[in-house]
Each structure stands twice: as C-alpha cells, then as structure tokens.
Amino acid sequence: MTALDKTALVLVILGALNWLLVGLARMDVVAMLFGGAETMISRIIYTIIGLAGLWAITILVRPEIGAK
C-alpha cells in the first residue's frame, strides 16, 4: 500500500466520521471549523475528501501484487 493509498484512506475515514456526526448530532465538523459549508475552504476540503473516496475505489478493485 502506497503513501497515497494510506492518505486517501485516512481522508475517507475522516469524511465518514464527519458524516456520522452529521447524521447523529447534526454537527458538520468541517463547516464548524472553517466558517460554514459554503465557504471556499470548506468546499475545497469536501472536494479533497471526495477525491480520496474515488481513489479508495481503486484500492478496492486493484489486484494484490503477490497475492496467493
């Protein structure tokens, strides 16, 4: 697993935890920390996390090298 893979997985996990808090407590941590969901920095963070999710799909479907 490459450093990019690990970084993507960490971002996906953080995004999932944020959505968990949105669902359970109506608390969007990204929006709270960066001045609202519509600010440019929040939108950039949401985009980066979304791109990490897309990258994580490649981790799921890629064949393991040396797997038996």
The Cβ-side half-sphere exposure at 62, using a 13 Å CA radius, reads 12
Give the chain's residues under pLDDT 50: none
The per-residue pLDDT for 20 is 97
pTM, entire model: 0.86
The per-residue pLDDT for 63 is 86
The Cβ-side half-sphere exposure at 6, using a 13 Å CA radius, reads 3
The per-residue pLDDT for 66 is 62
Give residue 59's identity as a one-letter amino acid code.
I
